[in-house]
Structure 1
Amino acid sequence: MAGTGCSRALHMTTLSMPGSSSNSSFQHYVYIDSTYALQRAQRPAADPPHAQDLFDALERETFQQARHIFTVGEYVRDNVIAHYGIDPARVTAAGTGRGKIAPFHGPKNFDQAPILFVAKERFVEKGGLLLLEAFRTAHARNPRLRLVMVAPPEFRGPIEGTPGVQFRTALPWSELESLFQQAALFAMPALYEPWGLVYLEALACRCPVLGMRRNAMPELTGNGKFGFLIQEPTAQAVSEGLVDAFSNADRLRRMGEAGQTECLRRYTWERTAERIARVMGLPGAPAQPAFTNHRSKEFTA
């Protein structure tokens, strides 16, 4: 950074920071959606054991050296504090904005609209096969259920071979937006998903979400106010969730409306940028906090 006139850097990964022997006057910050400790707990086979220990140690060093750590969610902030022993005053849950899908305010039939699943990659890890197996049982109990799965082409066979399921892939943006606008429920029971902007895109379209009770899902759904939290990653549990979701269309509508209101209010890139800029002391940052780290007062302004 020498000669650039910069005095601060915001790193988007924990392993991009320089070593401890670097210029101590330069301020380093990090903004993360997860930690290696959280990933390691849910994906134990992703890396060999010796690499896991090394990555954990390097990430710990990064957190110790960083002037401040920004996380997308509260659960990640909790882990940085508890697992890595970082002072809570040096960790801020800054949130995120939403994805590119535009909010939808038009009419929607929650009694007959389809379930939507979207995964351009990591189909299995995002719960695609789990949802497909669960839908078979749910559809047998309620033949009116329909599922649209936007997925990589290699999964066409099992998807099209399941009654009530429509396969889509490589869609133009307008068609993808239309699917979010039409859906009554977005279902992605991901086995591992640190945050998931796609959940926020669904909520912005007045579409409740269904996912596992892990990682950011309790936070994104208001602990179940705007979606259905599945306790165990089994086809039976997900199937029960699907049937329950469509047992009351008026409840789905109310959840969708409440979820959209909260999503549009709480999740904007402007709010996130202001929060980060304020902590970093950047010129022009608002003097007063828009929200706090404390759950009881979080995002209240």
Structure 2
Amino acid sequence: MKLLVNAESLSPPLTGIGNYTFNLLSALQKMPEIEQIDCFSGYAFSPSQNAIANCLNTSATRHHSANPTAGATVANRLRSRLRQSALAYRAREAFRNGALSIGTRRRAGFIYHEPSFILKAHRGPCVATIHDLSFIRYPEFHPPKRVEWLTRQLPRTLERADAIITDSEYIRQELIQTYHVDPSMVSAIHLGASDFYRPQHSQLAQTTLDRFGLRYGEYLLFVGTLEPRKGIEILLDAWSSLPPATRQAYPLVLAGAPGWNNKLLQARIQSMTTHGLKHLSFVPEHSLPALYSGAALFAFPSLYEGFGLPLLEAMSCGAPTICTADTSMAEFTDGASCLFNRGDSSQLAERIHYLLEHPGERRTLAKKGQLHSRQFSWDRCARNTYNVYAGLQP
């Protein structure tokens, strides 16, 4: 079997789709049944080993480099504005489709996997991963041009695809009901957590936590992109309503890069940093196991997720967790995470306060979560994905 995978998302710092692409590629490479994996980066083709190595090298360079220069900051802002332009969307996709079309003439027998929603031109079998339908459920949480683009392009992808993958059964059902897709075409394949995410004892983790001014077991944690869809306002409301003594004993720690349309959220976070909240911004992956392991409680109040990878990572590191009911997160945690009703900050506060005041309950929840998390791995995700590919072969 030969694969062609779009690797445009492997641009550090990796977030949702980038993490999915990186870990899936890494696991697929180890499978003897797969003869070759080529990656498309938007303008050129390369073996998957090169794409992964380039991603790792770029991540290392970013980590060891100094603060960005003024020129780099201006360039980043310009790129961000261009991404929101309808003309930029069309021009970029036309260019990439042209480049891919030329390259796939020599790869007609390859199975093309698009890990980021929208299929490009390819003459062979095509698989697309649809991570979520948040642009339909919560369009206000996305740039309007992105909503317009996905709304127009996704039906075309669903018509062309030979198989569809979703990150959860929750999204699978939503896709089938919304677009009337043939259920036999759609496979729900849960994501995984790397072996890198394992519990760290207090002495080992504290070395990392010292850099952030934190004490092991003495903080409430959120990890994820800081944007409205993640329910951070709900978490801020809940934490603010806790008794002062509880807030003092367990400061709220937010770790994540800024997302779209978050100016008001960022202003509120900044105003609360003088009242016990700690904002760590983006935290490199090598520091996350210590951060997860040291949390008294990990809260993930997202309104909507295709899966919710930080939640699984926290469970794998032995952190007791709380997340939103009636979501894909509740699906995969399957009773191993405390639940609260979507958007209900009062109930979230009650759950947080109870767990912080009852360490025995937290330990029980943490053990349950860690045990449950062992069912999920990137090797398992890759094997199930391979089975989808295999079903497309003659």
Q: Which category describes the TM-score, using the shorter chain as reference length?
A: 0.7 to 0.9
- Does residue 281 (structure 1) correspond to residue 390 (structure 2)? The answer is yes
CA deviation after TM superposition for structure 1 residue 173, in Å:
4.9
TM-score (norm 2): 0.60
- Aligned twin of 1:209: 321
RMSD: 3.2
- Distance in 2, matches of 1:12 and 1:31, equals 5
Q: Could you say if the C-alpha distance between residues 118 and 100 of structure 1 is closer, same or farther in structure 2, counting changes exceeding 3 Å?
A: farther
- Does residue 40 (structure 1) correspond to residue 136 (structure 2)? The answer is yes
CA deviation after TM superposition for structure 1 residue 130, in Å:
2.6
- Distance in 2, matches of 1:52 and 1:166, equals 32
Identity across the alignment (%): 22
1:16 counterpart SS class: coil
- Does residue 186 (structure 1) correspond to residue 186 (structure 2)? The answer is no
Worse-superposed segment, 251-260 or 139-148: 139-148
- Distance in 1, matches of 2:118 and 2:285, equals 34
Aligned length: 269
CA deviation after TM superposition for structure 1 residue 175, in Å:
4.2
Specify the code of the residue in structure 1 equivalent to 2:219: P
- Distance in 1, matches of 2:291 and 2:298, equals 10
- Does residue 62 (structure 1) correspond to residue 153 (structure 2)? The answer is no
Contact 1:123 1:129 in 2 (8 A): no
Specify the code of the residue in structure 1 equivalent to 2:333: T
- Distance in 1, matches of 2:228 and 2:250, equals 22
CA distances 1:14-54 after superposition (whole Å, capped 9, x unpaired):
32333xxx74xx2111122113xx43112346365x98577
Unaligned ranges ≥5, structure 2: 1-103, 204-215, 259-265
Contact 2:112 2:125 in 1 (8 A): yes
Specify the code of the residue in structure 2 equivalent to 1:209: T
2:252 to 135, 147, 152: 147
- Distance in 2, matches of 1:254 and 1:200, equals 17
2:343 to 233, 236, 247: 233
1:30 counterpart SS class: strand
1:246 to 352, 356, 362: 356
Q: Could you say if the C-alpha distance between residues 173 and 269 of structure 1 is closer, same or farther in structure 2, counting changes exceeding 3 Å?
A: closer
- Distance in 2, matches of 1:177 and 1:40, equals 33
2:172 to 74, 77, 85: 77
- Distance in 2, matches of 1:148 and 1:237, equals 20
- Aligned twin of 1:293: none
CA deviation after TM superposition for structure 1 residue 58, in Å:
2.9
1:89 counterpart SS class: helix
Contact 2:303 2:342 in 1 (8 A): no
2:238 counterpart SS class: helix
1:92 counterpart SS class: strand
Q: Could you say if the C-alpha distance between residues 150 and 101 of structure 1 is closer, same or farther in structure 2, counting changes exceeding 3 Å?
A: farther
Please list, as runs of the form range in 1=range in 2, the aligned pairs for 1:12-27 lying within 5 A after superposition.
12-18=115-121, 23=123, 26-27=124-125
Specify the code of the residue in structure 1 equivalent to 2:238: A
Unaligned ranges ≥5, structure 1: 286-301
Larger proportion of helix: 2
